[in-house]
Amino acid sequence: MTAHHTDAGPPAGFIAREHPSPFNDLTGPIYSRRDGRRRIIGLRVLQKHCNRSGIMHGGMIATLADVALGHNLALQSDPPRGMVTANLSINFADSARVGDWLEAYVDVHKHGGRLAFANCYIHCGDKRIAHASAVFAFAGERRADT
C-alpha cells in the first residue's frame, strides 16, 4: 500500500461513501472498501484538511476515526442502526500531509443493546498515525440507509 500519490483519487477498490452527510460533504471526500462485514474507511489528505504547519489537522484525523467507528458499528446490526458518538478518545502517533492516503480500520469489542464499543487504527501506508477508542449509543429506530 502506497501512502502518497499525486492524484486526488482513492486506490483501487475504494468507492465514495453511499450515504454522505452534510458534514462529511464538507470534510470529505471519504471513501470505503468492503473487507468482509467490515468497512475500511479511506481519505486522501487535501489542503483543506491541513493546519498552518502543512500537516493534517488533528480534528480531521478525529473526524475520520469517528466516521469509521460509527459506520462500522452501525453495520453490526441487520438492518444497520443509526449511532451517535457518546465518547471518543484519540491518541496521535504521527502525522500526514497533502496527498497522503489514510485508511481507518475498526475493531469492534462489544455491540450491546444500548451501547457499542470499538477501537480505530488510522494508517498512512505502513505508519500508524492514530488510535481512537469510542463508545457509541444507538440513535432511535433502525434505519435501512445507514
Q: pLDDT by residue (tens digit) across 60-81?
A: 999 999 999 998 998 887 788 8
| Structural domain spans, the chain | 15-142
Cell numbers at 46, concatenated: 487535501
**Contact present, 73 and 83 (Cβ < 8 Å):** yes
CA distance linking residue 118 with residue 128, whole number of Å: 17
The torsion of the CA quartet 10, 20, 105, 3, rounded to 10 degrees, works out to 20
pLDDT band at residue 141 using 50, 70 and 90 as cut-offs: low
* Higher pLDDT, residue 19 or 28: 28
Q: Which of 43, 38, 14 is nearest to 111 (CA)?
A: 38
CA distance linking residue 99 with residue 48, whole number of Å: 11
In this prediction, residues 14-22 reach a mean pLDDT of 78
In this prediction, residues 100-122 reach a mean pLDDT of 93
Residue labelled with grid coordinates 489514510: 102
CA distance linking residue 107 with residue 127, whole number of Å: 18
In this prediction, residues 82-93 reach a mean pLDDT of 95
pLDDT number for residue 143: 45
**Contact present, 116 and 73 (Cβ < 8 Å):** yes
| Average pLDDT, rounded, for the chain | 87
Tell me: pLDDT of 146 over 70.
no
pLDDT band at residue 1 using 50, 70 and 90 as cut-offs: very low
CA distance linking residue 30 with residue 24, whole number of Å: 7
Q: Where does 15-142 sit in CATH, by number? A: 3.10.129.10
DSSP conformation class of 97: B
